[in-house]
Amino acid sequence: MKRFVLTAKVLSLGLLLAPAAALAGDGVWTSGYGQGINEANVVNARGVTLRVACPDAALNWAPSVSIDVPNLQGGENATVTALVTISGRSAAIDFRRRVLDQNQVVYTWDGAGRQRRVFDELVFNMVHSGRRVSVVMSTERFRETFPLQGARAALEACAAD
């Protein structure tokens, strides 16, 4: 009987804490289309957003990947190398670090030119491989993980291009 009571208390505590975790980031991929751009994104448990944007070919814009880190304090605009890993496959990608204001920093990488092959492989692996994508930027002391569950449906338009 004690074991059941203890389990019930732990379960109750878990149910109380679950809404707070959901507010930080629900880990569910969403997608949308607007102004010629298919966009898919996911927010992880720490509130960091991973976004993949695929413009229509008629726009003649490069597809891109961005990471929006809330409450990151200022700093400089710079280029930083990120190691992106999915199911043991890694790619070193140079992101542009942009400081939008003192409390918002966005890292952006576009798949223009020779980078398009890397972008296509990244999207393919997000859709077909693994359970999560890990992004590490050593110089930024940045290490985030994003779930890939639901990425297939959200990234369908990007993978088709």
* DSSP strands (E only) in the chain: 30-34, 37-43, 49-55, 64-70, 78-86, 89-101, 104-110, 132-137, 142-147
Q: Is position 130 within any domain?
A: yes
Residue 9: pLDDT over 50: no
Residue 10: pLDDT over 70: no
- Helices and strands (H and E) in the chain: how many: 4, 9
Collapsed DSSP state (helix, strand, coil) of residue 121: helix
Residue 66 carries which side chain, given as an amino acid letter? S
Enumerate residues 6+ apart whose C-beta is below 8 A from 68: 48, 49, 51, 104, 106
Q: What is the CATH number of the domain that holds 156?
A: 2.60.40
Q: Is position 4 within any domain?
A: no
pLDDT tens string 28-72? 999 999 899 999 999 999 999 999 999 987 788 899 999 999 888
Residue 109: pLDDT over 50: yes
Q: Is position 149 within any domain?
A: yes
Q: Is position 107 within any domain?
A: yes
Q: Is position 125 within any domain?
A: yes
